[in-house]
């Protein structure tokens, strides 16, 4: 028997890049609910932000991955974690992967001072400025500022200075990845490492079934996730193109954009038909 597992990015994939709406994916989400397919949100967003979408989408029973693989949060009623180390944090069984935000902030200031490159991080922005960059509501902008494992920032300098920034970041044992709106400074974590852990957990819980993992994303920071699933899905951007992708086999490129493309992929892969 097959057991499907869906790992999904949020911005630009399951939710619209500009409006943050997911109405075009509701039918597909309902299909997955009927088939009891776990949908595991895997985003650069904070725990607090993802919790809001889990409630809106009725995904409270499933784990989620915050801040590009910084941590995994597993509900108490979720899969058994036999053999896996975890802590209880905020009512979740918690598996930490990334560096703490306090240390990331310190590194960010060091990198900024050493490089003399013009960058601006969330830790330097008030709520109004976060709203300006994201178009979030005030409530959601505050939730976005509650970082735990990564520092989003904007690069405001000349493009030819970016390699210097990357070199300084590497020397400090960190990395920078590009998301939909921001660059993200973080430790040696990524979405792929978190996906690997959850795949092992679910395979252990369903050892008599064939686990088939699906990953859905649209951006560079999603590639580690897409590289660690059986069926990678790349969602078309609002620009009408897909993020350039190399080295991934068996990849499904959606024709639809954002949540419409997300639903298209679900119906094609799991529903056995086309969407719309």
Q: Which residues are identified as catalytic?
A: 9
Backbone angles phi, psi at 249, to 5 degrees: -95, 160
- The alpha-helical segments, DSSP class H, found in the chain are 26-34, 47-56, 101-115, 127-134, 138-144, 162-171, 191-205, 223-226, 258-269
| Contacts of 96 by beta carbon, 8 Å cutoff, 6+ apart | 70, 71, 87
What are the two backbone dihedrals, phi and then psi, of residue 164, each rounded to the nearest 5 degrees?
A: -65, -45
DSSP, collapsed to helix, strand or coil, labels residue 106 as: helix
Cβ neighbour number for residue 64 with a 10 Å cutoff:
28
Output the CA angle 180-163-150, nearest 5 degrees: 45
Sign of CA dihedral 216, 220, 224, 227: positive
56 and 259 Cβ atoms separated by less than 8 Å: no
Spatial contact of 255 and 12, defined as CB atoms under 8 Å apart: no
How many beta carbons lie within 10 A of that of residue 98, not counting itself? 23
- 175-178, strands of its sheet edge to edge: 119-121, 150-155, 183-186, 175-178
């Amino acid at each position: 028997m097959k057991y499907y597992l869906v790992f999904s990015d949020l911005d630009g994939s399951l939710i619209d890049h500009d409006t943050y709406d997911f109405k075009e994916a509701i039918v597909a989400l309902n299909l997955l609910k009927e088939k009891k397919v776990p949908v595991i949100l895997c985003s650069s967003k904070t725990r607090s932000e993802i919790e809001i979408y889990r409630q809106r989408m009725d995904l409270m029973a499933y784990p989620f991955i915050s801040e590009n693989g910084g941590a995994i949060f597993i509900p108490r009623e979720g899969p058994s974690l036999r053999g896996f180390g975890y802590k209880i944090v905020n009512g979740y069984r918690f598996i930490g992967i990334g560096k703490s935000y306090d240390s990331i902030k310190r590194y960010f200031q060091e990198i900024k001072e050493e490089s003399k490159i013009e960058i601006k991080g969330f830790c330097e922005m008030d709520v109004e400025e976060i709203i300006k960059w994201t178009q979030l509501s005030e409530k959601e902008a505050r939730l976005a500022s509650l970082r735990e494992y990564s520092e989003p920032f904007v690069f405001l300098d000349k493009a030819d200075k970016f390699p210097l920034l990357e070199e300084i970041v590497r020397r400090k044992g960190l990395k920078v990845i590009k998301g939909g709106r921001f660059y993200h400074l973080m430790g040696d974590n990524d979405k792929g490492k978190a996906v690997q852990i959850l795949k092992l957990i679910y395979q252990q819980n369903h050892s008599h079934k064939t686990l088939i993992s699906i990953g859905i994303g649209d951006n560079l920071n999603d590639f580690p996730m897409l590289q660690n699933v059986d069926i990678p899905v790349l969602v078309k951007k609002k620009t009408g193109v897909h993020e350039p992708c190399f080295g991934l086999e068996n990849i499904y490129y959606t024709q639809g954009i954002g949540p419409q493309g997300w639903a298209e992929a679900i119906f094609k892969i799991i529903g056995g038909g086309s969407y719309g």
